Amino acid sequence: MDLNVDRVPIIDRRRKPRIDCEYLAIVQGRDRQGKKYEDSARLANLSATGLYMWVNHPIKTGEKVFVTVRINTGLLKENTPKIATDAVVRRTDLQPDGLLGVAIEFQSYRFL
What is the rounded average pLDDT for all residues in the chain? 85
pLDDT at 3: 43
Q: Is the model's pLDDT at 11 over the cut of 60?
A: no
pLDDT at 36: 95
Within 8 A by CB and 6+ apart from 38, the residues are: 26, 27, 28
Q: Distance of CA 13 to CAs 16, 18, 34, 54, Å?
A: 9, 12, 34, 22
pTM of the model: 0.81
CATH for 19-111 is: 2.40.10.220
Greatest extent of the chain over all pairs of C-alpha atoms, in Å: 61
Q: Select from 39, 90, 40, 43 the least CA-distant residue to 63.
A: 90
* Confidence band of 25 (pLDDT split at 50, 70, 90): very high
Return the percent helix, strand and coil in the chain, to nearest 5.
Answer: 0, 50, 50
Q: Is the model's pLDDT at 28 over the cut of 70?
A: yes
Q: Provide the 3-class DSSP secondary structure of residue 5.
A: coil
pLDDT at 75: 62
Phi/psi region, residue 80 (left: phi>0; alpha: psi -120 to 50; beta: rest), is beta
Q: Is the model's pLDDT at 42 over the cut of 50?
A: yes
